[in-house]
Every structure is written in structure tokens, then in C-alpha cells.
Amino acid sequence: MAFSVKLTQKTQTGGVNPVVATRTLLDDISSTASTVAFEKEVSMTGNVTIGDASSDSLLLLGGRIQSLSPLQWTCKDDALSSLKIGSSAIPNLINIDTDSTPNKVTIRNLEVIDNFTEIKTINLTIKDPLIKLGNGNETDGLDLGFYCQYKRSTETIKYAGLFRDADDDGKFKLFKDLTSEPYDTDDNININIDTNGNVSGYTAATLVVGSLEAATTPIGVSSGGTGQTTYENGELLIGNTNGNTLSKRTITGNDGITITNGNGSIEIDLDLKSNGGAVIENNKLAINLDDSAITGTLAVGDGGTSATNASDARTNLGLEIGTDVQAYDADLSAIAGLTSAADKGIQFTGSGTAATFDLTSAGKALLDDADAATQRTTLGVDTYVLTTMLDDISTASSCFVVAPKDGTIKKIYSVINDTIAGNNAEITINVNGGTNITNKLIIDQSNSEEGVVDSVTPGNNNTVYSGQYIKLTTNGGSTGTVRAIFTIEITLT
């Protein structure tokens, strides 16, 4: 492939890979060769064209290129390609890319060694998650941080930021409204902020974390603070369950006790009466209860007895023996010494001694009855029976029986020893010769034979009292000599 080098004085042509060995002022160099090489310094005032659209050309420099006018790199015929600067091992240390959107410059590793670097860009994106500041700060002599610039409409330019103060034990500080820019181009000189965080025009900035605004909001108890911003002399913090807060309170004196609240101190002065019982021992207040000069009483409402003797004290406290409380009793003490349990009763086993015994269900059923009649019912002995006999119920006659207990005639039974004929035998009953009881006992002739039982439930006039008699009378209406035995059932009252 041929090339052409146009010189100011002459034109030289040659084969592939020519070398221009002398320094020459060029108006224009144009080559379609695969490589153009310079071994000396080259100065050019015109344009240099290397390669064509189909070639992969190289520009090899042994010296340096000096441009007497602004140097502009332009892809041939506006082709989409790049300017790549590198070595054979790392070919793309610097890559100027026109084949992307947006166009960009890629630099593998960049070291800036001057004291000032300025980046004027709207959006700055940094991939590294940690930004290192203060490289070489091996003696902790530099303040480290960052700051920003702002300007309100009626103010001068001001600065705000965050820095670690090397002069104040490495504390991090927020600042704002700084009127002078806090930097120095000399990397050995510290930021001009003193140990109190002060510079000209400097104001401490406010940090807001959630609902906590550190500059104006007291730190609450739940966050480890006190919730207070100011204190008076002698004020103490007292816990308050209402809202989980701390309240400010001061100690006040009275009746001979003087409280002096100072700046960070509380003094308590006690007016001690001579031989009054109050003494100071080992810097502590004590009461000498043996001192005879102690007089007066402490009211019940203040925790005392309002008395000077035990009897009055019990009366004042509502504990008078025999009136308000039971005096000591040996029997009560014996009962108090027992161990209670279910289904147990208490009994005295001697003077001042007691014991428990088992209470059965039957026993408890009897004990809870209201009266004797109910108890007899519980025991199944609420009734008793009387018996009497007529030798011949077919002959008009009577028999008697006396009641030993008060009661009510509940039922009368009869049993015969043979068969009667003719008519039924009718038996009337009365108490103590009074009016006959309603309802008669009828011995049925048609069903009569030995061992047959008949009965009747009396109506009115059937009450009988202890010592009264009950009279049974047959009308003699039947025939046949037949004996009858009567059983009278009486319910106790």
C-alpha cells in the first residue's frame, strides 16, 4: 500500500511503513499506509490523516507530537470509533468512546497529584461504597469531612458540612452558615475550625433523626435522656409513671428544717433542741429514744397512736380488748391451733384442748336439719305404730290403745283370721272419745278370709296427743266369729 507525505519544501513517496527520520515542519500529512512512524519530534500546522475506513492503522511515535494550534481528534468520515491509549498488555487505559450514548471517556486508573482538582458536572456517580479521605494523615493532624456551598437571596455565599475535628478528640461536627470556604490548598494545613468548632461566621447545625431534633428537642427518657433542658438550683429528677417521664422537684423544709438549694448542692439544716432526742451521728440524723426530753404524741392520722400508754393506744386505734377485739382465750387458741380440712368437725377433748373428727355425709345431713321433725325424717323415724285387737268383729264392741307421742293418724290397717258372712264389718275410729274420724275402715265380706288385709286413710279429726287413746268400734254387722288385729300408723309432730 503506498502513502504520500506532503512537505513544505518537497514531496516524498515510498513503500509500506515509511519512517520520517528528520524533524520537518509539515503543512499536511496524508497516508493510507497501515503504519506511520516518527522517530524524532514532529511539529505540524495542518491536518494528519492516518488510514482509511477499511484499515486498522497505527500511529507510532518515538519522540513527541507538538501542535501549534488546538488539537482535535476526529474519526474519519464521521465513523463511530474511539481513541484508545494504552499498552500491549492493557490496551484501553484511556478510551474516548464516540460509539455510545452519551459519549464518554473511560480511564482505568487516575492519579491527580496537583493540589487542586475541580469537577464541573451536574450528576456525579461513584461506584465505590466507601470514600477515603485524608490519605497519608498518619499523625491525625487534619480535619476530615465534606462541605457544600449555598446562597440565600439576600446573603453572601455560605458553607455547611460535616467534619471530624482532629483538635477535639476526633468528634464529628455539623456546621452551617460558614462565611469563608473551609479548605486550604496546602495539604499540610488543617481546616480552620478550632477545638470549640468555631470559625468566622460559623453556626452549629441541627441534626434531625426521626422525630428527634437534637438542637431543640430534649432527649426523652425512653431514648436515655431526661426530657429536660434547664434546671434551677437544687432541683431533683423524680420518676413519673404517667407518660414515663422525669419531673423536676425541689426539697422544701418545715418545722425547724431549713433547705438551702445551691448551685450543684443541697444543704439541710436541722434545728436540734437540747436533749430533744435528735442527734447527729456519723453525719446522719438519728433519734435517741431513751432521751427523757422527748414529749408529746403523734396523731393516728400521722402514723402514731395519740397516746402515751398502751391502753389508750389500743382505744385510739380501735383495738380495745373486750370491745373491739376478743381477749385471749385458751379455747379459741386451741381451735386456732387446729388444721382445717374438708369433712372435719371440731370437738373439745379437755379444758383448753380441741381436736377434729370426721363428718360423714349422713352426719352432715342430720346436722343441717332445722328441727327435730326434720331430723326424724332424715333418719326415717318420723312415724310410729300402735296395735290393738277385737276378738269378734261380728259382735258390736270396741277396743282401745294409748298414743305415747303427739302425732297425726296417717293410716289404719286390719287383718282377720277367718271368713265373715252376711254383711261387711264397719269399724269407726275416734280420738279420746271425740268426733269420729272421717272415713271408716271397711272389712269386705266378699273378699274375707284368713290373712286378708284392709286399710283406710283417715280424714279429719285424726290428730292425737301424747296420753290420749284411740278407740276402734265394730258395728257387728257381719256373722261368724272372726278376730281382727289393727295396726295404726302415726306421723310424729
Given the C-alpha cell 332424715, which residue does it identify? Answer: 378
Coil vs helix vs strand at 413: strand
- Does a cis peptide bond (omega within 30 degrees of 0) precede residue 18? no
Sequence letter at residue 269: D
In angstroms, the first-to-last Cα distance of the chain is: 153
Coil vs helix vs strand at 84: strand
Task: Kindly report, residue by residue over 194-211, the tens digit of the pLDDT.
Answer: 444 454 455 777 777 766
Instruction: Provide the CB-side half-sphere exposure for 226 (13 A, CA).
Output: 10
Which of 2.60.120.260, 3.40.470.10, 3.30.1360.120, 3.40.50.12780 would CATH assign to domain 383-492?
A: 2.60.120.260
Cα 185 to Cα 113, 114, 115, 189: the distances in Å are: 12, 9, 6, 8
**Which candidate, 95, 117, 120, places its Cα nearest to that of 105?**
95
pLDDT of 5 reads 42
Domain-by-domain residue ranges, the chain?
Answer: 3-107, 144-205, 383-492
**What is this structure's pTM?**
0.36
Task: List, for the chain, all residue ranges whose pLDDT scores fall below the cut of 70.
Answer: 1-109, 112-116, 183-202, 210-217, 223, 243, 255-256, 270-281, 283, 285-295
Positive or negative, the Cα torsion across 118, 121, 123, 128? negative
Would you say 44 and 67 are in contact if contact means Cβ atoms under 8 Å apart?
yes
**DSSP β-ladder status, 19-20 and 35-38:** parallel
Q: DSSP 3-state helix, strand, coil percentages of the chain (rounded to 5)?
A: 10, 35, 55
pLDDT of 456 reads 95
pLDDT of 147 reads 84
